[in-house]
Chains A and B, each alone.
Chain A
Amino acid sequence: MADLEEGFALTAVPLGSGPDGPLGVEQSDKTDQFLVTDSGRTVILYKVSDQKPLGSWSVKQGQIITCPAVCNFQTGEYIIVHDNKVLRIWNNEDVNLDKVFKATLSAEVYRIHSIQGTEPLVLFKEGAVRGLEALLAEPQQKIETVISDEEVIKWTKFFMVFRHPVLIFITEKHGNYFVYVQKFNSRILSKYTLLLGQEEKCVIQSFSTSVGRKFISLMSLSSDGCVYETLIPIHPSEPEKNQRLVQSQLLKSVVSGSARNGVALAILDQDHIAVLGAPLPASKECLSVWNTKFQTLQTSKELPQGTSGQLWYYGENLFMLHGKFLTVVPFKCEVSSLAGALGKLKHSQDPGIHATPHFVNWETSQGCGLGSQNSEQSKRILRRRKVEVSVQPEVPASTQLLATIQKDSEKHIEVELRKFLATKRTPDFHTIIGDVIIGLLGRCKAEPSFYPRNCLMQLVQTHVLSYSLCPGLMEFALEKTDVQILQLCLQQFPDIPESVTCACLKVFLSIGDDTLQDTDINMESVSDYMDPVQDGEMEGQTAFLQNGFSPEEDNCDSCAQKLKEKPQATADESTSCPVTTKRAALLNAVLHSAYSETFLLPHLKDIPAQHSTLFLQYLYFLYLKCSENATMTLPGTHPPTLSQIMDWICLLLDANFTVVVMIPEAKRLLLSLYKFVKSQISICSELNKIEVSFRELQKLNQEKNNRELYSIEVLELF
């Protein structure tokens, strides 16, 4: 995909020019440095990546520059023409243009062209061309007239074709266009008449060329808003004859037909062109990149302050006038493909560089996720960031927010916070968020009435926090028994200490159902396997279990008997959940959190017996739910896994076994667990037996293939 990046203004001061815009932007002999000539008296040398001028030169009052400054790549000097006939040559050290080399020519100059690898050329208004050296040797030499009387040069370009310089210029006379191609290796000037394909007379507004294998492709943007392509043969069959060239339409209506000015065209690569102009009669002017192969608009960028219809393109930068400032827009065009044209290309890979798996670089700050591995890219990001810095200073934003937290009202903080979160994330975003939370908590402790719940929720949901970044948050939520924040924290934080996890568990188990009813809890982990209709019934059962036990379940034997006799009945019973849906969702958050057994066990011992029984019952219920399907998983999004459930059952039993054994309510549960474990053991032992016999078979098989120390085999090489 083609990609236009954030542009930046090159000039801090507006160009001292009228609506015409600058006279020209030309490359200098150093990369990244460009000569900008404004239509008045000044030439400025810019370093684009630094966005700063390196030098500036002006001609005297009363003189006017008529031809943009260019760099002579062979000598590193700069050349301009002022007052049509006066040539000036200077270099970086010169300060005053008045005192530099001067040559007065005998005819008016249209343009000076200079490209890498050859000497600069001077194109006169009458169509004659001279090399700079030859011209300087005899400045007053006679300049012949090439084009006819009323022809006017509209556009010109100088480039290399197979290491030979070629100059192309287009003239207009009464709405007819002529193309002249001057080749310097053979000194042949070919003239072509450009036949306009369209019916009504249209004015061509912009040209651009690219060089192919056999043809020079000339693209023109007509006043009807269409782009036409004309192919000019590099090696014409009959060079002397006046030939005709036919235009073919390439793209339709890229700019509004009524647009009179502010339209320009540049060829970016063989498949992409950039067009400057308003796409609709009423709309603002736009810079857009089109794919000519698939005729699709790749990207576009609005220029609300208007532009001048001039577009320069060097390397990876597009230069244009935006308002009163010369603006540089870096762009990227990838090789055109159908997927790219349709916008379906995810990312393309550099074929030379092998993909490497993502690795964590500990030496750069974490949190911004992937460290950018492409240095070029990072440079560009840097540049972009620099722009941001100048527009909206970012460090004050966070400090300002921290100041807001200390005094403003809850509402105001919320608004400010939303604003802050909407801005772009910086690499130290997570630390700032951590600081914000700590600030909020500090204020909460100072004023007991202050509890910015929404802000905290919002901050936790930024996905960048961890327990260690905001150490007080969970303790504070525990104090307030804010189960909603606790659930969020359990889901988001990777590094919660086991003591806190356990404290959360205690709160979740002990909190009253009526309080739970009013809170808004994320239920996605339970929604699919619990029927909310059952809620009432469940509560009844919970109450029943918490308040006591049925005398029939007193006896262990009878219980076992019951299990044996009425498997149907127990199944029915166990499928109903022992806790409410909301509590289940909270408990699931605990099940998902990371822990280390050694550190969790001592805290689990502190859970009251009744609560641990309830939790065990819930876990057993989950297990039964799991075993309902073949894959041993629970339905829904992000449910607890079987191993999590089993680990917690083991942990709870380990921690509270003596207590649980003593409680009559748990007897039945323990019995069923015991039965389950027994059956598991027998299955496992059978599986082990099978595995061992399979392994023996495999070993036998391997020995047959590999263990022979010597063999003669037949091998065919093909």
Chain B
Amino acid sequence: MGEFNVHRVRFFNYVPSGIRCVAYNNQSNRLAVSRTDGTVEIYNLSANYFQEKFFPGHESRATEALCWAKGQRLFSAGLNGEIIEYDLQALTIKYAVDAFGGPIWSMAASPSGSQLLVGCEDGSVKLFQITPDKIQFERNFDRQKSRILSLSWHPAGTHVAAGSIDYISVFDSKSGSAIGKMLVDRQYMGVSKRKCIIWGVAFLSDGTVISVDSAGKVQIWDSATGTLMKNHLVSNADVQSIAVSQEDSFVVGTAEGTVFHFQLVSVTSSSSEKQWVRTKPFQHHTHGVRAVAHSPTALISGGTDTHLVIRPLMEKVEVKNYDAALRKITFPHRRLVSCAKKKQLLLFQFAHHLELWRLGSTVATGKNGDTLPLSKNADHLLHLKTKGPENIICSCISPCGGWIACSTASRFFLYRLNYEHDNISLQRVSKMPVFLRSALQILFSEDSTKLFVASNQGSLRVIRLQEGGFTHPRAFQPQSGTVQSMCLLAVSPDGNWLAASGSSAGVHVYNVKQLKLHCTVPAYNFPVTALAIAPNTNNLVIAHSDQQVFEYSIPDKQYTEWSRTVQKQGFHHLWLQRDTPITHISFHPKRPMHILLHDTYMFCLIDKSLPLPNDKTLLYNPLPPTNESDVIRRRTAHAFKISKKYKPLLFVDLLDEKTLVAVERPLDDIVAQLPPPIKKKKFGT
């Protein structure tokens, strides 16, 4: 297969933000996750846990609560006092409504999904009616004396439990009057703490209220009498979140990173009397667990350590296959790195800035495994900070290295770069057209003369770039009736074809010259994770979240022979069992038969001329074949050349036929930048 010089890059100092809230939607089997920087991500648990949508963060919009209501509508509320609804089709914020109660700490949708309740800093609980296109303030509940940190509806919708500081209130949801108050003990292991914050409450249909608090207690109350039924001390630190499923199972997360599973279990085998029992502890987090969710078959947790952990409950899973394995999602399922191959430049996208680096070089050669001495080290050329509080949605560097484009939710930036020896001059292209206010995806054509921009409402535009500016902003004809936003773009190296894919609508191929739809790739059940068009052949390679890879010939408007063979034979079972989606596809410039693709834990060079591996062959062999004759070697060779040497991988590309660039982000480096976890004593009396 050949030797490559690999530029092993570890200077992409990317740190994902911590997880603040998670909300599970049983109807669509989707999970909404909000992070401390305000980003909201949507994971499709049915599509191999793929992160199919995301809403960029905003500095002033720290989300404190996230919930699904009225079926598939997603709301968030935060410390800026606003309730926000997200448009899941157009991937924008639909509207923001100020609740006028100061920072919002909690939010809960009524069981019917038609009402929304928020708990505010000033101690007010506000009820909003959800109308088809907005929310409408309806009523204030009885004002409490301090902030409302948690809310939970009775499953029948008749009562509401609200966790405040040192006590839990029970409201009648019809009248809004407080009908009960349960005082929580401040004492903690005999020591009186200053305050006891009720981080979470859950109301069950039999009137039981479960509370979790800052003293490390999980308490079970009878809301009718206001009495404490049972007290579980689970942690020395705060218990920060609770989620209930099906009334017989709930999960809590602690600041020490432990997740406890509680189940309603019969006291003895014969009696019908049941008791909440702490059944399973899980420690998958190094830092505090800020949010938990409970799907019918899994416990989901996220916290400061930025991992989203999905732990299936083995007794609930019917088939014990790979899907039942623990999932840990750390990196976004989209590309944060772009590369100018000719100039050997890498552009890194951070939340609020971009970094441009030039790769180093070497003159030495070596054999497999050698580290070559550098004749020139990598240079940090540029640190480009965006103005404003919004996070960057997408960014791109042109293949020639002369242009950089990036976009936030309300502004689009285009820069012209000039290289004079070692100096770089940067010039912002001003006077962007009005419609170019934000983009979901940006892509330069191979010859860097065109810029393709996918923005909200499914619009797709092409801009011709010239020295010092741009001309001809032209739009592709939109699909009739679609408002699906395109998230992935790929352009053919000859510049004739543009492929675009939305989060679920399949892949459309456009003719760039005529600005017309050329064809649509047959729909597939799983979302697209990466797209690319091969040089010369114009074959479109599509990777899906279920780890299937298709090759579609654009000129012939049909799947290629190779793709059909692959589908007929099926992928190797280990290939299909990978956890992370393929996020980038590229091609060997000289060998048209080679496809390079990568996920977080491996990259793979597919040689289409070799036979496909079947389930009996070894898919990945980390050791070089030694003392085997050429015949055996040739016989055992198969199309998938996999390397797991570099991980976790954020980006891999071929710079030229002998050079690869691999951008790694070691987890240790991320951990080193996180705040220190709560120290737990291991020894001592």
Contacts and interface: CB of A to CB of B under 8 A. Distances in A.
Contact of B6 (A354, A706, A715): A715
Contacts of B685: 597
Contact of A354 (B248, B266, B320, B367): B320
Q: Which of A428, A709, A715 has the most CB of B within 10 A?
A: A715
Contacts of A715: 3-4, 6, 368-369, 643, 645, 660
B434 interface: no
Given A431-B269, A710-B10, A710-B360, A718 B641 contact: yes
A38 B360 CA distance: 91
Contacts of A431: 268-270
A714 B4 contact: yes
A354 B11 contact: no
Contacts of B281: none
Interface stretch (B95-103, B372-380, B414-422): B372-380
B257 to A, nearest CB: 21
A714 B319 contact: no
Interface in A619-654: none
B270 A428 contact: yes
Contacts of A360: 279
Contacts of B374: 710-712
Contacts of B625: 718
Contact of A712 (B266, B279, B280, B372): B372
Query: Which of A353, A365, A708, A713 gathers the greatest number of chain B CB atoms within 10 Å?
Result: A713
Interface string B65-93: 00000000000000000000000000000
B370 interface: yes
Chain B contact residues, majority secondary structure: loop
Contacts of B321: 353-354
Contact of A362 (B279, B366, B624): B279
Q: How large is the interface on B (under 10, 10 to 19, 20 to 34, 35 or more residues)?
A: 35 or more
Nearest to A367: B269
Interface string A321-356: 000000000000000000000000000000001111
B618 to A, nearest CB: 12
B182 interface: no
A112 B448 CA distance: 80
A571 B681 CA distance: 38
Given A359-B315, A717-B1, A710 B368 contact: no
Interface string A582-621: 0000000000000001000000000000000000000000
Nearest to B642: A717
Interface string B1-43: 1111111111100000000000000000000000000000000
Nearest to B372: A712
A361 interface: yes
Contacts of B621: 718
Contacts of A717: 1-4, 605, 641, 643
Given A356-B320, A363-B315, A431-B270, A714 B372 contact: yes
Interface in A352-386: 353-356, 359-363, 365, 367, 373
B666 interface: yes
B593 interface: no
Contacts of B1: 716-718
Contact of A713 (B268, B315, B372, B666): B372
Interface in B633-651: 633, 637, 641, 643, 645
B224 interface: no
Contacts of B575: none
A353 B362 contact: no
A427 interface: yes
A373 B372 CA distance: 54
B324 A711 contact: no
Nearest to A366: B269
B314 interface: yes
B370 A713 contact: yes
Contacts of A365: 266, 269
B263 A362 contact: yes
B274 to A, nearest CB: 11
Contacts of B367: 714, 716
Nearest to B263: A362
Interface of A: 353-356, 359-363, 365, 367, 373, 427-428, 431, 597, 706, 708-718
Given A713-B5, A716-B624, A718-B1, 11 more contacts: A359-B314, A361-B315, A362-B263, A362-B277, A427-B269, A431-B268, A711-B374, A714-B370, A715-B4, A716-B3, A717-B2
Interface of B: 1-11, 248, 263, 265-266, 268-270, 277, 279-280, 314-315, 319-322, 324, 360-362, 365-372, 374, 377-378, 605, 621, 624-625, 633, 637, 641, 643, 645, 660, 666, 685
30 contacts: A353-B321, A355-B320, A356-B320, A361-B315, A362-B277, A362-B279, A367-B269, A427-B269, A428-B270, A431-B268, A709-B9, A710-B9, A710-B11, A711-B8, A711-B371, A712-B360, A712-B362, A713-B370, A714-B365, A714-B366, A714-B367, A714-B369, A715-B3, A716-B1, A716-B2, A716-B368, A717-B2, A717-B643, A718-B625, A718-B637
Task: List the 4 closest A-B pairs by CB distance, nearest first.
Answer: A716-B368, A717-B1, A361-B315, A717-B641
